[in-house]
Each structure stands twice: as structure tokens, then as C-alpha cells.
Homo-oligomer: A and B are copies of this chain.
Amino acid sequence: MSERPVVRPLPVSGFPEWLPHVRLVEQRWLDEVRRVFESYGFCPVETPSVERLDVLMAKGETSKEVYALGRAQGVEADRLGLHFDLTVPFARYAAQHFADLVFPFKRYQVQRVWRGERPQDGRYREFTQCDVDVIDVDGMSPHFDAELPRVVHEVLTRLDLPAWTIGVNNRKVLQGFYEGLGVPDPLAVVRVVDKLDKIGADGVAAVLAESLDQARVDAVLALARARSVDEVAALGVTSDLLDEGLAELRFVLDELADLPEVVADFSVARGLDYYTGTVYEGRFTAWPEYGSICSGGRYEDLAGSFIRRRLPGVGMSVGFTRIFAKVLAEGLLETGPASATDVLVVLPKGRRGQARATAAALRAGGANVELYHQEDKVGKQVGYASRRGVPFVWFPPFEDGRAHEVKELATGVQREADPATWSRRA
């Protein structure tokens, strides 16, 4: 027992953990996320943390730095890896359980994901994502393109974050515009524009200039600067695909006109190949370089690698840990005590049974109650409540015939009370 410790208990870089007073707030946030998702009719799904490596790699995601599982003791594990997002597991889930789901299928999924990246600001190796997707069979209503940013808007609003915006664009606008310009490979331009926040407008211009003339480079950058459908129309480029994209985008923006934080942003490209229509990306206003705090878009087919049915959908992912860690690091997280306890019940000498019954009565009324653990002096018991940040101390009668009393530590006010009816909020 008293031997020298053999292992130093150090944090592991990229794997965040919080003290209890911070974890309490994180838990409240996660409750809020879930409440909002359910209030829009999304149902909860969890998948294993682990998928077969062929499932994880089905889209050729070799760059994601997947953590594969092995056995510490040298035995070979099956070819399994930790999921690096919640989209691939959801695609596998939808394909596997296709016959048991009702479409359009609206699901949310709040889980940890793992990426073997180099840890840096806003990048973790283990973090929580909150994903929300709607998928349907063969075709899907544009209604959901507008519903998803509304849901995420409400989530971000409820978390009471520093200012943010959700930029909305449409891949058809980008590709249609580049087509209208006569660009030979519009998708390649999308991928370059997607790097705007990493390499800046000059960097993008330099890359584009390798294959496009100056007028076209200028036009591509002018589109990225536009912040309304009218501004885009004024650029004078036309194509059928552009018109289709602008109509879709206008529908989404009109539906969300009551939300000032949702804005048209033609620099949002979302480089991933599978997006085909609406795309989204949210950022903190004060820290645009911190990266996206939520993102997503519409895809033509979710689970093509796993099932011969076409499942189009639209989804968004909230970077929960990225947001939470930033707010914490900026000193903007309002935390309280390290426990959710409302009341400490004092244990009077020789009256353990009565104190236990008092605690039970208070719990039955919905309070979180700690019963003090030994017959210490009352001052010591109250001091414990104070150190722990417990707001109320309850005194069961120290002799028969006396009344219960409760003291609020913040104000010092002490009064008679009945454990059967007391409430912290009364």
C-alpha cells in the first residue's frame, strides 16, 4: 500500500478530460443538444465505437488516420477500427437495418469519435460529435435542407455561445457558376476554393492561375466574396445548373429568413465529394480561423457502398468538443460547484435513522441530497457542505419534538421546514 507509485498519472495529449464542475456543464450542454434534436422529431441512434476496417475504408478514407484495434497481449484482433466520424457508421446502420426503419428516417447521434491526428488548437484525438441527418429512399424533400440549419441554430442558441454564423451555400451554385465560366473541371475548382480559410484568397488565386486565365480567377474569387443571391446574379454568369442551385438556395434562405445568424456565404465549399446540393458551415465570429463549429450538406446517396438502394439525405454535425473546449479555454464557460447536490443533511449524534429518513424524504421531493457520513461536530459538517459548494444544509431535530430547520449558506438565512414538502426553488 505504501510502496512508491510506479506509474505517473499524466494526461494523454489530445484526449481531453474535465474536472467535475466542468463535466457538470458539459452534461447540461449535451442534455440541451438532445432535447433540441428530439423536439424536431429526430430519434436517437448509437452505434458501436468500432467498425470493421473495410466498412471504415469503404469510401477510401485513408487520410483520416484511423485507430485500428490490436491486442495488448499479442493476440491478433479482428480487423476492427474506432470510427472517425458518425456518418460512416450511420450509413452502415441504415443499410443493415434498412427494412426496420421508417423513411424519411430522422436520426441524431451523439458519440465520441477518434482520429489519430496531431493534437492542436481545436483538434483532438477523441472528441464528441453531435450529428443529425435525414435520409429518404430515392428522393428527398427540400424541406429538410431548411430544417437542419434551424435545428442546429436552436442548439447553438441554447448553448449561449459567443457570436457565430452559419453560412449556407449550394454546390450546384458553385459548379454551375464555374460551368457558366467555361471552367473545364468545376469540381477541381470547388476543392481549391474549399482551401480559402487555410491558404487565403491570394493562395487560392495562385493555385487557380495554374489552369485558369485571370478573368476566370477573378470571377471565382468574386463569387466566393458574394453574400447574397442578388450579388451572384449581378456577376453576370449563367448556366442551368447555376439557376437550379440558386433556386434551391433561395428556398432555404427564405425558410430561414427569421434567423439572422444564418447567412448566404458563397465561400462555403465543403470539399468532400459526396455533397451535391446545399452545404453548411458555421464559425465563431470572433475566431474565424478556429475552423468550423458545425458543418454538413446534402448528399445524393448515403450508403452506396453498403446497399443497392439510393438513400439521399441531408445532415449536419456539431463539433461539440471543439466548441466546448474553446468556450472553456476563453474563460467564457460559467461553471458552478463541483457537484449537483442541493442539500447536505446533517447527521446528529445517535439519530442516524432519522437523518436517513430525512434525506429519503427530500430525495422523494426531487432534491439531490447528501447525508453526512459520521457524527462529527455540526460546524465540521457545515464546513464540508461549504467546501463542496452545496447550497443548503438541513438540520433534522436534535431531540424529539423539535422542528427541522434548513439553512441557505449563501445568505445565512435559517428557518423551519418540512422535508416532505421542501423544495429548493420554493
Contacts and interface: CB of A to CB of B under 8 A. Distances in A.
Count of identical protomers in the assembly: 2
Interface in A100-135: 100-102, 104, 106-107, 112, 114, 116, 125-126
A304 B17 contact: no
Contact of A45 (B15, B23, B66): B23
A304 B7 CA distance: 9
B41 A370 contact: yes
A179 interface: no
Interface string A38-75: 11111111111111111111100010011111111101
A7 B55 contact: yes
Interface string A67-94: 1111111010110111000000000110
Contact of A388 (B77, B92, B102): B102
A12 B51 CA distance: 7
B9 A306 contact: yes
B106 A339 contact: yes
A11 interface: yes
A102 B7 CA distance: 23
B73 A373 contact: no
Given A126-B49, A374-B143, A23 B44 contact: yes
A368 interface: yes
A52 B12 CA distance: 7
A184 interface: no
A413 interface: no
For this complex, into which size category does the number of interface residues on chain A fall?
35 or more
A132 B293 CA distance: 34
A48 B368 contact: no
Given A9-B55, A68-B71, A41 B341 contact: yes
A383 B96 CA distance: 25
Which of A7, A70, A307, A310 has most chain B Cβ within 10 Å?
A: A7
Nearest to A94: B9
B41 A75 contact: no
A150 B249 CA distance: 57
28 contacts: A5-B306, A6-B58, A7-B305, A7-B306, A9-B96, A10-B96, A12-B52, A15-B48, A15-B49, A18-B46, A19-B100, A20-B43, A20-B44, A26-B46, A38-B341, A38-B368, A39-B367, A41-B371, A42-B339, A50-B114, A50-B125, A50-B126, A65-B73, A69-B82, A75-B116, A102-B338, A141-B373, A255-B352
